[in-house]
Amino acid sequence: MKYLSILKDMIKNKTFMVGLFIFISVLILAVFADKIAPYSYDLINVQEKLLSPNEQYRFGTDQYGRDVMSRVIYGSRITLKVGLIVVAIETLIGVSLGLLAGYYGGYLEKFILFVTDLTWSLPPIIMALAIVTMLGPSLNNVIIAIAVVSWAQFTRIVRVKTQSIKSLSYIEAARAFGENDVGIMTRYILPNILSSIIVLSTLALPTAILSTTSLGFLGLGSQPPDPDWGLILKEGIAYMNQAPWISIFPGLAIVYTVLGFNLLGEGLRDIMDPRLKA
């Protein structure tokens, strides 16, 4: 049916396929971290500290003798978990507000737009910093902080799309036989903008990951000994001269993942909704 042709488009799109490969690789790392990582991420072995990459410790060891590779592998769990949860929250808030604003218009729309623009104009990292400072450093607070400042992008696009669908005949026909507002929003408008939402969510992933990693880098996210990539990076800075590998490998992991998700999102956009390119 229609899905078959989408599948064909997906396979043809190189950007998407590369992004998909990267996503799946990170996913596998995260899910099977226990089986893949040679060591536990918090296994301290002070005698083996600061060793450069070798047979035993492929990425070298850090200042506590912990295997950097294992920490990077386990770190993928944090990265993915954080990325997905943040995007889920953003999507939920952003789409709901966008639907309400687009559908009802009037003062509700004006109010939502006001709040959205406000949120949009604040620099996300600063906002997140403020929130985390208030609530205290922890991974969960970072998730909340990032999600809360990033939903604006969904609201705007969903609002516009809702407005354009709202005036179509099939919406009027539905109202004519008795659909109420909630029914119309959930059964008629939402399914018709779903592909755009999927694309936006996927594109929001790399930003979410980058933001949380940055906060982790500032020490505001996960706390030691969690193998958060940003945290590892930060800790490795002090040893840049002696053991640069401590920062390099998580850094590479971040680049790899973020790049991959970007490609996935862009590929998906080209396939499902090229009009979002603006």
Partner 1 sequence: MNSLVKIENLKKYYRIDKGLLKKKSYYVKAVDGISLSINKGETVGLVGESGSGKSTVARLLLNFTTPTENTIYFDDIDIFKANKSEKKSIRKKIGIIFQDPAASLNPRSTVYESLKRPLEINGTAKKDIHSYIMNTLELVNLGEELLYRYPHQLSGGQQQRVCIARAIILNPEFLVLDEPTSALDVSVQAQILNLLLEIQAEKGLTYLFISHNLSVVRYISDKIGVMYLGQLMELGKVEQIYKNAMHPYTIGLLTSEPIYSPKDRGRKKLILEGEPPSLMNPPVGCRLATRCPFSKDICNHENPAFREIEPEHFVACHFAEVLDYSMYVDRQ
Nearer to partner 1 among residue 107 and residue 177 (C-beta): 177
Q: Does 270 bind partner 1 (CB under 8 A)?
A: no
List the interface residues with partner 1, window 175-234 (CB under 8 A). Answer: 175-179, 183, 187-188, 191-192
3-state secondary structure the chain: CHHHHHHHHHHHCHHHHHHHHHHHHHHHHHHCHHHHCCCCCCCCCHHHCCCCCCCCCCCCECCCCCEHHHHHHHHHHHHHHHHHHHHHHHHHHHHHHHHHHHHHCHHHHHHHHHHHHHHHHCCHHHHHHHHHHHHCCCHHHHHHHHHHHHCHHHHHHHHHHHHHHHCCHHHHHHHHCCCCHHHHHHHHHHHHHHHHHHHHHHHHHHHHHHHHHHHHHCCCCCCCCCCCHHHHHHHHHCCCCCCCHHHHHHHHHHHHHHHHHHHHHHHHHHHHCHHHHC
Supply the minimum distance, in Å, between the C-beta of residue 197 and partner 1: 13
Q: Hey, what amino acid is at 260? A: G
Nearer to partner 1 among residue 11 and residue 173 (C-beta): 173
Only segment of 11-19, 167-175, 208-216, 260-268 that touches partner 1 (CB under 8 A): 167-175
Q: Does 173 bind partner 1 (CB under 8 A)?
A: yes
Supply the minimum distance, in Å, between the C-beta of residue 96 and partner 1: 19
Nearer to partner 1 among residue 11 and residue 172 (C-beta): 172
Supply the minimum distance, in Å, between the C-beta of residue 162 and partner 1: 15
Nearer to partner 1 among residue 8 and residue 14 (C-beta): 8
Supply the minimum distance, in Å, between the C-beta of residue 107 and partner 1: 16
Interacting residue with partner 1 among 56, 172, 224, 238 (CB under 8 A):
172
Only segment of 76-84, 105-113, 114-122, 166-174 that touches partner 1 (CB under 8 A): 166-174
Supply the minimum distance, in Å, between the C-beta of residue 106 and partner 1: 15
User: Which residue ranges make up the site for partner 1 (CB under 8 A)?
Assistant: 2, 168-170, 172-179, 183, 187-188, 191-192
